[in-house]
Amino acid sequence: MAISQPLYWIAGNVLVDGFPDANAALTEPDGLLAAGGDLEPGTLLDAYRRGIFPWYVSAQPILWWSPDPRCVFRPAAMTRSRSLRKRLRQQRFEVTIDRDFPAVIRACAAPRGDRAGTWIVDDMVRAYVRLHALGHAHSVECWRAGRLVGGIYGLAIGRVFFGESMFSADRDASKVALAWLAHNLDAWRYALLDGQVTSGHLLSLGAETMPRARFLARLAELCPQAPAADAWRSWNAPS
């Protein structure tokens, strides 16, 4: 990894004064902000509120990122392709929330195709399972014939859902999980679904790019606000 300018190191792996301003992140590689620290619940929640997330492989220290632009979905404005609407009408999958968060994150961490490793290392799995137990992290699962075949997980803070990863072991299962999630996030008064790093795949699913400065301003506005009282308890199919 080539780094174009000095990197902020968290002294002694202890975050004393908080994370640096996300706008200080490097341009190459895009969004790299800091290294070190820990994955304790308070550290992670503070990072996400500031538009920062961990992303590293096992041979590295914890690396913290805030890319520019940011990839986001607006749940209220999310469109579904004709083929996805057809798939939803077929009701091929049973879709649930928080039925098996550990299984979803482990499936997301599993090797895919020719990808040799994963950024969802064991420490990350343990950290996010702990956040789920504390009520901050959530999952959406797609089941077929009793088998988990797709899903998505992430963190809910205020009126923002920070999507972390999704997987599909059956055609369109992850797309169905995302459609159900966005539909219910809208019903629960969530205003943003963070997709983190822009990719052609996410853009094809209805994501858009948002300048980091605008994204950080939206987080400052939305993270202190409460979603609907029935968030993560009610669950309705997309129409």
Strand 94-97's sheet: what is its strand order?
94-97, 137-144, 147-157, 160-168, 192-196, 70-73, 208-210
| Per-domain boundaries in the chain | 8-67, 71-222
CA dist 7 and 24 (Å) reads: 10
For domain 8-67, give the fold: Alpha-Beta Plaits (3.30.70)
- pLDDT value at residue 113: 60
| Tens-digit pLDDT string for the chain (239 aa) | 444 456 677 754 445 567 889 999 999 899 999 998 899 999 999 999 999 999 998 888 899 999 999 999 999 888 778 888 888 888 899 999 999 999 999 999 998 665 555 789 999 999 999 999 999 999 999 999 999 999 999 999 999 999 999 999 999 999 999 999 999 999 999 999 999 999 988 998 889 999 999 999 999 999 999 999 999 999 999 97
Crossing angle (nearest 10°) for helices 82-90 and 173-187:
90
The pTM of the full predicted model, rounded to 2 decimals, is: 0.92
Confidence at residue 117, expressed as pLDDT on a 0 to 100 scale: 54
- What pLDDT was estimated at residue 13? 46
> Exposed, middle or buried by CB within 10 Å (0-12, 13-18, 19+), for 50?
buried
71-222 CATH: 3.40.630.70
Q: Tell me: the pLDDT tens digits for 178-194?
A: 999 999 999 999 999 99
